[in-house]
Chains A and B, each alone.
Chain A
Amino acid sequence: MNPATLKRIGLGGITGNPIAFAVVLALMALLLAIPLTHNGYIELVFRNILMYAAMAYGWNLIGGYTGYVSFGNVAFFGIGAYCSAILATHGVDNLLLYVLLAMAVSAVFAAIVGFPVLRLKGHYFAIATLGVALAVTDIIANLDALGGTGGLALHQVDEAHFSIYYYAMWLVALGSMLGTYFIARSKLGYAFVAIRENEDAAAVLGISATRYKIVAWTIGAMMAGAAGAVFAPANGFIDPSITFAIDSNVFPIAMTILGGIGTVAGPFIGALLLAGANELLQRFFVKAHTLFFGAMIVLIVLLLPRGLVWLFGLRGGARAWLKSLSVYKA
């Protein structure tokens, strides 16, 4: 559906529903207070939510706005984490430098890899990006200089200042969110959506598809890279299996789809719900929590196939919702 149609049926413009975005901004402001009232476990849970949100925003730019479904964004998260680790092992102890280096390296890597990979379309693009992620994982696991499979330990700040990692992750998430908002409203955002809706038509209108796809992919990579750069020192230790975990690859995609694909509020709402629910289920059902988690995803997809954000703009109440369910039925 194109942005004009979405707006007409009450589902917001290119940035999604404005009420949903306002709610998300308010929630972000509330999250700022978490370290003041809670520390330790709760702070960790919310830091993870912010981390997943930043990664989901990174994926949303290429997968949601541009319509190129990537399974390789975890590579940028991992590269970001390893940038921090390399700086840390060389005695650099500055979170801002970590993030800046991670963003630069992720961007350069994304641009180089994007050139051949973004020529592929649809399924072939998806599989090639998965290949990139797995190849990067394998290569890092085999480089002795990066600790191989043994991983690397990072120096952490003392306990009294530990919340700095939380605030850093909060800033990364906020930056990704606002970045998405302003990019979506700019010429870039409209070019991305044009490519998603019809790449050939976009090309006819003078949009250089390759260039804009690489821009979307590269900016998304910087968001994931920044999240990785904060994750590494916050976690204190990284190895290939932690930084390139399947969860870090699938979760951000699942969160974006659950929240609402191609919207500004969706990735955050999805991250809050999915990561939050995962933590709660883990606390109450030690053995079967993933079972309930899986069931929850199945139910949400069946009941809200367009993502949670759509609820904000839904006109016509329960009847309209029930009617909308059968649209996708074969």
Chain B
Amino acid sequence: MHLIAQDLVNGILAGGILAVVALGFSLVWGIMNIINLAHGAFIMLGAYTTYQLFTSFHVDPFLSLPVSFVLLFALGYLIQRFIMNWVARAPVLTTFLLTFGLSLLIVNIALNVWTGDTRGVTTAYSGANFTLGDVTVPWAKLFTLLAALAITGVMQLWLTRSRTGRAIRATSMDIGAAQLSGVRVTEIYAIVFGLGAGLAGVAGTLISLSYALNPSMGDLFLVKAFVVCVLGGLGSVPGALVGGLVYGIVEAFATQIDVTVGGQHISGSGLQDAIALVVLLIVLIVRPTGIMGKATA
């Protein structure tokens, strides 16, 4: 019983990070139809921004959240405006390949700047935790979850209430109609891609609190972002949150599997990806547009 409660809490805590990891990826894919393979590289840059601010200037990781967001937003905005915009109307595979190239480029610049050494951001409260009954909760992860919830809430409000947010949603619904209504699509695309990168930066900062850093750290999270955003529903902000939590919980429970069948020892900790992906397949077959997705996609 205690194990089940602990797994549930671990899953929810991990799911919060995954939600932010997937949010930017999901927006860019859902709104611009770009599968951004550089998303993992942006996450890595966000994490290293926090690392650099923390080691050089002793800035608390949570305080570096806005810095990561602004820096990565600027980078994403410029990349879309001056590079990606050239192939904005090309088939999805063209931009897919372009972001693959960009990702290689960014990761290797990082490799030359920070070397391949594994690094970490260790704050005074890194190891601190509290217990609730039998369940242990690390403070850093709890704050990370709260930050993730807050970011998701702000994003949802901004997209539905603000003028720019409405222009973004209009563009994703019908690019021609949006243009006729006076939406500057080039600008909106640059903002969305910037937003995607900024959110990746924020995710990177949150990740740096509980995971080790190295220039290729983004790959792992890119795959998870893929799964989470499809699980929740492409381009949907609440979908990313639900998808992230579901994925986190499934993965946490999967690690507990430990059986032996006919001499073959099966341990869940090695199979967590496989189990999470089987869940994804089942969700896709039952609900092909994701948990929070709309009926027509």
Residues of chain A at the chain B interface (Cβ within 8 Å): 63, 69, 116-117, 119-124, 126-128, 130-132, 134-135, 137-139, 141-145, 246, 250, 253-254, 257-258, 261, 287-288, 290-291, 293-298, 301-302, 305, 325, 327-330
The CA of A328 and the CA of B272, in the complex, are separated in Å by 41
Question: CB-CB < 8 A to B271: which residues of A?
Answer: 138-139, 142
Question: CB-CB < 8 A to B288: which residues of A?
Answer: 119-121, 124
Q: Is B265 an interface residue (CB 8 A)?
A: yes
Partner of A330, one of B189, B266, B297: B189
Question: Is A138's CB under 8 angstroms from B104's CB?
Answer: no
Complex: chain B residue closest to A116, CB-CB: B285
Across the A-B interface, give the 4 residue pairs with the lowest CB-CB distance, nearest first: A294-B104, A297-B101, A330-B88, A294-B105
Question: Is A257's CB under 8 angstroms from B97's CB?
Answer: yes
Contact residues of B between 171 and 230, Cβ < 8 Å to A: 185-186, 189, 219, 223, 226-227, 230
Q: Tally of A-B residue pairs with Cβ under 8 A?
A: 144
Complex: chain A residue closest to B234, CB-CB: A123
Question: Is B281's CB under 8 angstroms from A69's CB?
Answer: no
Question: Is A291's CB under 8 angstroms from B109's CB?
Answer: yes
Least Cβ distance of A262 to chain B in Å? 10
Question: CB-CB < 8 A to A124: which residues of B?
Answer: 230, 284, 288-289, 297
Number of interface residues of B (CB under 8 A): 54
Q: Is B90 an interface residue (CB 8 A)?
A: yes
Question: Is A138's CB under 8 angstroms from B105's CB?
Answer: no
The CA of A258 and the CA of B264, in the complex, are separated in Å by 44
The CA of A250 and the CA of B40, in the complex, are separated in Å by 15
Partner of B101, one of A127, A131, A296: A296
Partner of A138, one of B89, B107, B273: B273
Question: CB-CB < 8 A to A250: which residues of B?
Answer: 100
The CA of A221 and the CA of B230, in the complex, are separated in Å by 24
Contact residues of B between 235 and 285, Cβ < 8 Å to A: 263-267, 270-274, 277-278, 280-281, 284-285
Known: A124-B288, A301-B94; 20 extra A-B contacts, CB below 8 A, are: A120-B285, A123-B29, A124-B284, A131-B278, A134-B273, A135-B277, A138-B270, A142-B270, A142-B271, A143-B264, A257-B94, A261-B93, A290-B104, A291-B105, A291-B109, A294-B102, A297-B100, A298-B102, A301-B87, A305-B86
Question: CB-CB < 8 A to B223: which residues of A?
Answer: 130, 134
Least Cβ distance of A328 to chain B in Å? 4
Query: What string of 1s and 0s marks CB contacts (under 8 Å) between B95-115 and chain A?
Result: 011101111111111001000
A-B contact pairs, 6 of them (CB 8 A): A63-B93, A127-B226, A132-B277, A144-B264, A328-B86, A328-B94
Instruction: Report which residue of A132, A246, A253, A257 has the largest number of chain B beta carbons within 10 angstroms of its beta carbon.
Output: A257
Q: Is B85 an interface residue (CB 8 A)?
A: yes
Least Cβ distance of B46 to chain A in Å? 19
Question: CB-CB < 8 A to B277: which residues of A?
Answer: 131-132, 134-135
Question: Is A329's CB under 8 angstroms from B104's CB?
Answer: no
Least Cβ distance of B281 to chain A in Å? 6
Instruction: Report which residue of B85, B96, B271 has the largest number of chain A beta carbons within 10 angstroms of its beta carbon.
Output: B96
Least Cβ distance of A199 to chain B in Å? 14
Complex: chain B residue closest to A149, CB-CB: B270
The CA of A246 and the CA of B277, in the complex, are separated in Å by 17
- A120-B288, A294-B105 as given contacts; A69 in contact with B87, CB under 8 Å: no
Least Cβ distance of A93 to chain B in Å? 27
Least Cβ distance of B45 to chain A in Å? 15
Question: Is A131's CB under 8 angstroms from B227's CB?
Answer: yes
Question: CB-CB < 8 A to B186: which residues of A?
Answer: 330
Least Cβ distance of A79 to chain B in Å? 15
Question: Is B112's CB under 8 angstroms from A287's CB?
Answer: yes
Complex: chain B residue closest to A69, CB-CB: B93
Q: Is B83 an interface residue (CB 8 A)?
A: yes
Least Cβ distance of A182 to chain B in Å? 25
Question: CB-CB < 8 A to A328: which residues of B?
Answer: 86-90, 94
Least Cβ distance of B202 to chain A in Å? 23
Question: CB-CB < 8 A to B109: which residues of A?
Answer: 291
Least Cβ distance of B187 to chain A in Å? 10
Question: Is A128's CB under 8 angstroms from B284's CB?
Answer: yes
Question: Is A302's CB under 8 angstroms from B280's CB?
Answer: no
Partner of A119, one of B86, B89, B285: B285
Q: Is B157 an interface residue (CB 8 A)?
A: no
